[in-house]
A and B are shown apart, each in its own frame.
Chain A
């Protein structure tokens, strides 16, 4: 019988798996990162299912990823993915970009997050470090309206050009809010 609150056990299981496969432990990665960029650069450091996750200031994100790209010890030089997230309740930090780096040599992963206000959604581009950031950033712009300064071609990618909003933001619900046929006393949404 599975307990509903399985998260801590699941977290532990995933962490054990990562430990067994990675060449460098998460503590060592963090130590090295703090050595390179200073101890107070990384906040909210946590292990989410074995994956080292940290929040950094958006002004520093370009420098960090750029330095890590050429760094010899960790070799975090593969940008696996990157995406925007919208947290409307998180005042002053409504928008977020999540970067995920991978070292194909050491098999370690690192997730970096930046948060910034929705009124000022400006982030430095990574296209000068990673060619692959080009479309990833266009996607984040398209769906969340995040402006990447220095991007060579920041236009919509999956949606039509003349769309005037950014549809993945939480204020656009999937269904029409005025619909009443789905309101149900027992199984209401």
Chain B
């Protein structure tokens, strides 16, 4: 960046002023005896995929240090939750990791069910598994698609986003919405899988593997992609554990921790699937782990669909599960329950519950303290993004700016979950 005209004093000042105008500050540090650049990456930058800022100290192209600033879309969910009855908290969880809302929704429902001791029927559990695995696929598709874009290959992203769109159409059939799904209820699903939903799901299951293979053919052994991602943004298993990594990012470092296997919920123990692990914990491993998880999720969905049990799709818990609308119009009991649930007038037992699910990015935990009232006394979300994003400076120091960008997209930091 030091051009010839910068050698003269006036030229240098001119250069500095121009840099400052573009949001780049030039500072002199005696430690290095040379010009360091402070680069303000974000908060709104097309390559950060979300609103968070990194103030990077650069020595030419090399990153010397990074300071992340977060909180740009903080919405105080934990505070808001203290005033809301349990079922009104579900829409808050939608807005955390909005790439895989059904997982958040169901994680929250399961937390409340654990507090109340509600046994959910098998059919509902299987439907939940199908929806959660679809959400995981959608989440990983976004991450790997964007990773392709950041390394300069746009076509993979287009292939995958078409499939994400199809997943959203299945969501739409199941719960009526696409991104912030608010899917299911405390006690099960709000409705059974409709024939149209099943049909869409089956069509998609036939169609998707070919697209995924095509995507992998484009990237997996692509020379440019491998050069750009191998050994970029690596983290050792030891450091990853110390930083509290979970999910694909931890598995890419070689630790086979998966909540679905270690503490199975919603009948995950019924399904046969494997946990892919990487070795280096670099960007390429994270990419491969996510791809393989997509295949494993497909396996789970196929098994769940094949063995989908008959029976009710929600628990018999009239105090918490809304009665059918026809009943509400005709039956006094149903009307009373409907009213009490909607007004949030039903107290929950006192206790402390921690429940975690395997979210798109790792262990998504809900720590709920109930004092016996209608709302949580305190609700803390263990957001995997928030916890592992603090390792980002350590992972990018010493690498170049372009590597920092793809490290960020391969970590799949979702701003909504980061800031909650």
Enumerate chain A interface residues (CB-CB to B < 8 A): 1-2, 4-7, 9-11, 13-14, 21, 48-49, 51, 53, 77-81, 83, 85-86, 98, 100, 104, 107, 109, 111, 130-132, 134-136, 139, 143, 156-160, 167-168, 174-175, 187
Partner of B350, one of A7, A79, A80, A157: A7
Which residues of chain B from 20 to 73 have any CB-CB distance to chain A below 8 Å in the complex?
70-71
Contact A4 B319 (CB under 8 A): yes
Given A53-B352, A187-B345, 7 more contacts at CB 8 Å?
Answer: A6-B116, A7-B115, A11-B117, A80-B363, A104-B255, A131-B391, A156-B71
Give 14 A-B contacts (CB < 8 Å), ordered by A residue. Answer: A2-B316, A7-B115, A10-B349, A21-B262, A48-B353, A49-B351, A49-B352, A53-B352, A81-B365, A98-B380, A104-B262, A167-B79, A174-B80, A174-B82
Kindly specify which of B198-206, B238-246, B279-287 makes contact with the partner chain: B238-246
**Interface status of B386 (Cβ within 8 A of chain A):** yes
**Interface status of B12 (Cβ within 8 A of chain A):** no
**Interface status of B378 (Cβ within 8 A of chain A):** yes
**Interface status of B369 (Cβ within 8 A of chain A):** yes
**Interface status of B347 (Cβ within 8 A of chain A):** yes
Distance in Å from the Cβ of A105 to the closest Cβ of chain B? 10
**Interface status of B118 (Cβ within 8 A of chain A):** yes
Contact A2 B317 (CB under 8 A): yes
A-B pairs with the 6 shortest C-beta distances? A10-B117, A132-B244, A7-B349, A158-B71, A6-B117, A83-B380
Chain A residues contacting B315 (CB-CB under 8 Å) are: 2
> With the chains together, A13 CA to B114 CA distance in Å?
8
Q: A48-B352, A132-B387, A158-B70 are in contact. Are A2 and B320 (CB under 8 A)?
A: yes
Contact A175 B354 (CB under 8 A): no
Distance in Å from the Cβ of B235 to the closest Cβ of chain A? 11
Chain B residues contacting A13 (CB-CB under 8 Å) are: 117
Contact A85 B316 (CB under 8 A): no
Chain A residues contacting B367 (CB-CB under 8 Å) are: 81, 83, 98, 100
Q: A78-B244, A80-B365, A80-B382 are in contact. Are A132 and B118 (CB under 8 A)?
A: no
Q: A13-B117, A131-B242 are in contact. Are A157 and B318 (CB under 8 A)?
A: no
Chain B residues contacting A1 (CB-CB under 8 Å) are: 316, 318
Chain B residues contacting A6 (CB-CB under 8 Å) are: 116-118, 349
Chain A residues contacting B117 (CB-CB under 8 Å) are: 2, 6-7, 9-11, 13
Nearest neighbor of B353 in chain A, beta-carbon distance = A49
**Interface status of B343 (Cβ within 8 A of chain A):** yes
Chain A residues contacting B208 (CB-CB under 8 Å) are: none
Distance in Å from the Cβ of B391 to the closest Cβ of chain A? 7
Name the residue among B316, B345, B369, B378 with the largest chain A CB count within 10 angstroms: B378
Nearest neighbor of B355 in chain A, beta-carbon distance = A49
Distance in Å from the Cβ of A72 to the closest Cβ of chain B? 16
Chain B residues contacting A9 (CB-CB under 8 Å) are: 117
Chain B residues contacting A10 (CB-CB under 8 Å) are: 114-117, 349, 351
**Interface status of B219 (Cβ within 8 A of chain A):** no
Partner of A81, one of B346, B350, B352, B382: B382
> With the chains together, A5 CA to B319 CA distance in Å?
11
Distance in Å from the Cβ of A158 to the closest Cβ of chain B? 4
> With the chains together, A174 CA to B81 CA distance in Å?
10
> With the chains together, A158 CA to B352 CA distance in Å?
25
Contact B83 A131 (CB under 8 A): no
Distance in Å from the Cβ of A174 to the closest Cβ of chain B? 5
> With the chains together, A25 CA to B367 CA distance in Å?
22
**Interface status of B2 (Cβ within 8 A of chain A):** no
Partner of A85, one of B264, B320, B369, B386: B369
Contact B79 A85 (CB under 8 A): no
Q: A1-B316, A2-B118, A7-B350 are in contact. Are A81 and B380 (CB under 8 A)?
A: yes
Contact A2 B116 (CB under 8 A): yes
Chain B residues contacting A175 (CB-CB under 8 Å) are: 83
**Interface status of B19 (Cβ within 8 A of chain A):** no
Nearest neighbor of A143 in chain B, beta-carbon distance = B78
Chain A residues contacting B255 (CB-CB under 8 Å) are: 104
Distance in Å from the Cβ of B116 to the closest Cβ of chain A? 5
Distance in Å from the Cβ of A125 to the closest Cβ of chain B? 14
> With the chains together, A2 CA to B316 CA distance in Å?
7
